[in-house]
C-alpha cells in the first residue's frame, strides 16, 4: 500500500476529512496520512483507541514516535495524557491500551537505529522558550543528527521570514490555524514540505504546531 509515499512531493492532508479505517485490532481505527508498505510499513497516522481497547504486544522494528492528541494512552511503562510526546526506539516492545479512549498522532519505521534514547515528555508541564522572532515560542522535544522535533506556539498576527527547508519539514496543526502563501491549515492538518522547499509561514489567529525538520530524504 502506498499513500503519499513519495517524499519528494509536497503533501497537505486535512485529517478530519479522512475516513477511519479498521486496524487488525477491534476498537482501534486509523486515518492514514502517509504509508509505504502493508501492515508493517513506514507510516504516519492518526490512531483512535475506543475506551477499553488494547493492542497486542508488538516490537517496533523501525521505532515509534507519537503525540497524544486527546484522552489517555497507556502501556506497561505508564499512562500518557493528552499532550504527551513519546519516542520508543528501534527494537522496543510494548502492549498499548486505553481505558478511557484516546487519539494519537503516530509515526512508525522512521527512526535511525542509532537513535536509541526513549523519551516521554509531558508537554503541558514543560516550559516554552522564546523563538527566533517575537510572537513565537518553542518547546524542543528531540534532536538526533539532522532531525529536530519541537512544538511551536504562534501568537496571533505572527509572520516568520521566508526560508528553505534542508531535509524537509513536517507539520501537524494541534490548535488554531497555521498559514503560508500556499494555503490555510486548520487544526488537524498534516503538511509535508520536501527537501529544498521554500515558504513564508504566518498565523493570523494563532496556533500550536508539531514540527519536525531535517528528516526527509535529500
- Indicate the range of 57-61, 68-72, 161-165, 202-206 predicted with least confidence: 57-61
Mean pLDDT of 72-80: 96
Domain boundary among 99, 122, 145: 122
**Residue 218 located in a structural domain:** no
Instruction: Answer yes or no: do 112 and 29 share one domain.
Output: yes
With 60 as the cut, is the pLDDT of residue 218 above it?
Answer: no
Instruction: Answer yes or no: do 21 and 108 share one domain.
Output: yes
Mean pLDDT of 191-216: 97
Please state the length of the chain: 218
CA distance 135 to 125: 20
Instruction: Answer yes or no: do 90 and 173 share one domain.
Output: no
Tell me, what CATH number does 78's domain have?
A: 2.60.120.10
Instruction: Answer yes or no: do 111 and 152 share one domain.
Output: no
Burial of residue 137, with CB atoms counted within 10 A of its CB: 0-12 exposed, 13-18 middle, 19 or more buried:
middle
**Residue 170 located in a structural domain:** yes
Find the domain containing 53 and state its range: 2-122
Instruction: Answer yes or no: do 138 and 36 share one domain.
Output: no
With 90 as the cut, is the pLDDT of residue 44 above it?
Answer: yes
pLDDT tier, 81 (very low <50, low <70, confident <90, very high otherwise): very high
Instruction: Answer yes or no: do 132 and 168 share one domain.
Output: yes
Domain boundary among 87, 105, 122: 122
With 90 as the cut, is the pLDDT of residue 36 above it?
Answer: yes
CA dihedral 202, 204, 207, 212 (to 10 degrees): -10
Neighbours of 192 (CB within 10 A): 23
Mean pLDDT of 51-61: 89
Report the pLDDT value the prediction gives residue 183, as an integer from 0 to 100. Answer: 97
140-183 pLDDT, tens digit per residue, is: 999 999 999 999 999 999 999 999 999 999 999 999 999 999 99
**Residue 143 located in a structural domain:** yes
With 90 as the cut, is the pLDDT of residue 40 above it?
Answer: no
Instruction: Answer yes or no: do 114 and 175 share one domain.
Output: no
Report the pLDDT value the prediction gives residue 106, as an integer from 0 to 100. Answer: 97
Instruction: Answer yes or no: do 100 and 164 share one domain.
Output: no
At 16, phi and psi to the nearest 5?
-70, -15
Give percent of the chain with pLDDT exceeding 90: 89
Total tally of structural domains belonging to the chain: 2
Report the pLDDT value the prediction gives residue 56, as an integer from 0 to 100. Answer: 84
Amino acid at each position: 500500500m502506498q499513500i503519499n509515499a513519495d517524499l519528494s512531493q509536497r503533501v497537505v492532508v486535512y485529517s478530519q476529512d479522512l475516513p477511519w479505517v479498521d486496524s487488525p485490532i477491534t476498537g482501534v481505527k486509523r486515518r492514514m496520512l502517509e504509508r509505504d508498505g502493508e501492515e508493517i510499513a513506514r507510516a504516519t497516522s492518526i490512531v483512535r483507541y475506543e475506551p477499553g481497547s488494547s493492542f497486542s504486544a508488538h516490537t517496533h522494528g523501525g521505532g515509534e514516535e507519537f503525540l497524544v492528541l486527546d484522552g489517555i494512552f497507556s502501556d506497561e511503562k505508564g499512562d500518557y495524557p493528552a499532550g504527551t510526546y513519546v519516542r520508543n526506539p528501534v527494537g522496543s516492545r510494548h502492549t498499548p491500551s486505553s481505558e478511557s479512549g484516546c487519539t494519537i498522532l503516530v509515526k512508525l519505521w522512521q527512526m535511525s537505529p542509532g537513535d536509541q534514547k526513549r523519551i516521554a515528555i509531558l508537554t503541558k508541564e514543560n516550559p516554552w522558550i522564546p523563538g527566533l522572532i517575537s510572537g513565537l515560542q518553542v518547546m524542543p522535544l528531540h534532536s538526533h543528527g539532522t532531525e529536530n522535533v519541537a512544538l511551536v506556539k504562534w501568537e496571533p498576527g505572527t509572520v516568520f521570514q521566508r526560508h528553505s527547508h534542508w531535509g524537509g519539514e513536517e507539520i501537524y496543526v494541534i490548535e488554531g490555524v497555521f498559514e503560508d502563501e500556499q494555503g490555510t491549515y486548520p487544526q488537524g492538518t498534516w503538511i509535508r514540505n520536501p527537501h529544498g522547499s521554500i515558504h513564508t509561514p504566518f498565523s493570523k489567529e494563532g496556533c500550536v504546531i508539531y514540527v519536525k525538520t531535517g528528516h526527509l530524504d535529500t
